[in-house]
Amino acid sequence: MTSESAATLRSRYVAQAASDLEENRRLQQELAKRISVLKQEEALLSDILSLAERYEDIAETPPQPEQLPDEPVVAKAKKTTTTTAAQDSTPAKSARAGKAAKAAAKGTPQPPLLGDLLADVLAQYEEPRLAKELRDELLEKHPDRSPTPQVVRNTLESLVAKGRIRRHKQQRSVMYTLVKPGEADSDSSD
């Protein structure tokens, strides 16, 4: 082999090695990007899986129908055995109903609903009361309960929608009174 052919052969090998190195770097960059995308997909899928497991746990507890005012808790617990999780797709309601059903099944008394407590506080007054006043008195009488002002207002509005209390607007203030049995619902001042 002549020195000229050896130099040509060497230059081909150098060019091939440089080309192979460049291709190798490009493939490494592609693989690094694909690994990054796969890690993101893995994180997303694991989040979805954990949410599905949590929802599955919630859906396994049967929902509990709303208790009628005169219905005892034991009868309420018996009703929950006939209902299915498909009837209530709201996870928060299912979780609350599941806790109530477990408490009823164990024989432990269920804590009174916030709406019932607020109605009891309102029953003591003839004149309209502000939501803030009702919340303050509720916190005083039931220190174990600590609803936010917004939760109290939402609960009061829920009671208004059910016709259990009446809303009174005075300028920018909203006040509430209890609807006495026998009072007509048509004289609400909303």
pLDDT digits (tens, 9 = 90+) for 141-165: 999 988 999 999 999 999 999 999 9
- Report yes or no on 123 lying in a domain: yes
Q: For residue 190, what are the contacts with CB-CB under 8 A and spacing of at least 6? A: 160, 167, 169
**Orientation of helix 114-123 relative to helix 131-141, angle to 10°:** 100
Per-position DSSP letters for 15-74, written without gaps between them = HHHHHHHHHHHHHHHHHHHHHHHHHHHHHHHHHHHHHHHHHHHHHHSPP-PPPPTT--HH
Q: Are residues 54 and 81 in the same domain?
A: no
> The pTM is what?
0.43
What is the span of the domain harbouring residue 171?
114-182
In this structure, the dihedral spanned by the alpha carbons of residues 80, 81, 87 and 90, taken in order and rounded to 10 degrees, is: 60
In the predicted model, what is the mean pLDDT of residues 85-95? 47
- Report yes or no on 152 lying in a domain: yes
Strand partners of residue 173: 170
Lowest-confidence region among 7-16, 30-39, 100-109: 100-109
Residue with the larger pLDDT of the pair 86 and 121:
121
d(C-alpha 104, C-alpha 159), whole Å: 24
pLDDT digits (tens, 9 = 90+) for 133-144: 999 999 999 999
Confidence of residue 84 (pLDDT cuts 50, 70, 90): very low
Residue with the larger pLDDT of the pair 78 and 21:
21
- Report yes or no on 96 lying in a domain: yes
CB 62 within 8 A of CB 80: yes
Quote the pLDDT of residue 180: 82
Strand partners of residue 177: 166
Q: Are residues 18 and 37 in the same domain?
A: yes
Quote the pLDDT of residue 55: 77
